[in-house]
């Protein structure tokens, strides 16, 4: 069966900087797949290529049986490629529920098969369901900007999940969270995968979380693939160990 996501020989340059050098990997449907690597390795650039914000000079991205070349970020979202960002991208003045409903509108907004009032009703009911699922219901009417950081992050993830993406790209979802919040978020992501079948691709600096949760990992350094495969193998790979030790030195 064709993998849900297939990245084929992607090369991305910014003037003198080679951000991604002939990067290839595949993510099967249902995976929890991690992209790791030292600072400046090219992780965010890779997510930007996947979501269509950057256009690589070479290579292709295939998603759900389609070549994504030439598809705008909005078109990719509609095809089922969701995204959360490294810096929170929620609307602080809107309530938590209104934020999540924006995601739900994606699911029910097009194609406009239902009359507007029915769409509104369906999107709202679905937003409430997602909020319940992520234990956000008590905060539904609080302006998102007034919530503590960990809950804002959860609202952002809820909004992305409410769009019912086939694949969700998460850029450092655990950054800035306390240990307990990380464990909660991990549980919500695993639940969402089981319940809604969403495939997860995350960039993460917390290697312990990556090793515990992921079933596949891509290790980048200076834009190059150092390792691709099961997380346990990354730990023993001399190139990976050297890249991380080098980064820490």
Residues lying near ligand ATP in the complex (CB under 6 A): 14, 17, 19, 37, 39-45
Helix (H, G, I), strand (E, B) or coil at 84: strand
Q: Give residues with Cβ within 8 angstroms of 39, minimum separation 6.
A: 247
Nearest-angstrom CA–CA distance, 241 and 116: 55
Of 127 and 210, the one with the shorter C-beta distance to ligand ATP is 210
Q: Give residues with Cβ within 8 angstroms of 8, minimum separation 6.
A: 24, 59, 60, 61, 62
Give all strands of the β-sheet with 58-63 in edge-to-edge order.
17-27, 5-14, 58-63, 66-67
Please choose, from the candidates 156, 1, 8, 133, the residue with its C-alpha nearest in 3D space to the C-alpha of residue 82.
156
Report the alpha-carbon angle 233-238-241, nearest 5: 85
Q: At its nearest, how many Å lie between ligand ATP and the CB of residue 197? A: 28
Helix (H, G, I), strand (E, B) or coil at 3: coil
Q: At its nearest, how many Å lie between ligand ATP and the CB of residue 38? A: 7
Q: At its nearest, how many Å lie between ligand ATP and the CB of residue 143? A: 29
Of 42 and 80, the one with the shorter C-beta distance to ligand ATP is 42
Of 47 and 213, the one with the shorter C-beta distance to ligand ATP is 47
Of 137 and 241, the one with the shorter C-beta distance to ligand ATP is 241
Q: Are strands 32-36 and 216-221 parallel, antiparallel or unpaired?
A: parallel
Of 17 and 125, the one with the shorter C-beta distance to ligand ATP is 17
Q: At its nearest, how many Å lie between ligand ATP and the CB of residue 17? A: 5
Of 14 and 249, the one with the shorter C-beta distance to ligand ATP is 14
Of 45 and 77, the one with the shorter C-beta distance to ligand ATP is 45
Q: At its nearest, how many Å lie between ligand ATP and the CB of residue 170? A: 13
Helical H runs in the chain? 43-51, 73-79, 96-109, 116-133, 149-162, 179-196, 207-213, 231-236, 238-248
Q: At its nearest, how many Å lie between ligand ATP and the CB of residue 101? A: 30
Nearest-angstrom CA–CA distance, 97 and 153: 14
Q: At its nearest, how many Å lie between ligand ATP and the CB of residue 105? A: 30
């Amino acid at each position: 069966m064709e993998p849900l996501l297939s990245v084929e020989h992607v090369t991305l340059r910014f003037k003198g900087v080679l951000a991604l050098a002939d990067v290839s990997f595949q993510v099967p449907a249902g995976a929890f797949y991690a992209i790791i690597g030292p600072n400046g390795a090219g992780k965010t650039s890779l997510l930007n290529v996947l979501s269509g914000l950057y256009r690589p000079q070479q290579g292709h991205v295939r998603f759900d049986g389609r070549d994504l070349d030439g598809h705008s970020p909005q078109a990719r979202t509609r095809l089922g490629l969701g995204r959360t960002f490294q810096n929170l991208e929620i609307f602080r003045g809107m309530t938590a529920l209104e934020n999540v409903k924006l995601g739900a509108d994606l699911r029910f907004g097009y194609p406009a098969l239902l009359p507007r009032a029915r769409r509104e009703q369906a999107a709202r009911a679905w937003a409430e369901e997602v909020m319940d699922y992520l234990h956000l219901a008590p905060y539904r009417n609080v302006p998102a900007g007034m919530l503590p950081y960990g809950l804002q992050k959860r609202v952002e993830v809820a909004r992305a999940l409410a769009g019912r993406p086939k694949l969700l790209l998460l850029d450092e979802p655990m950054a800035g969270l306390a240990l307990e919040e990380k464990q909660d978020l991990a549980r919500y992501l695993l639940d969402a995968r089981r319940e809604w079948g969403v495939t997860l691709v995350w960039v993460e600096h917390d290697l312990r979380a990556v090793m515990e949760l992921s079933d596949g990992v891509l290790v980048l350094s200076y834009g190059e693939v150092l390792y691709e495969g099961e997380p346990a193998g990354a730990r023993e790979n001399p190139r990976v160990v050297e890249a991380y030790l080098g980064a820490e030195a």
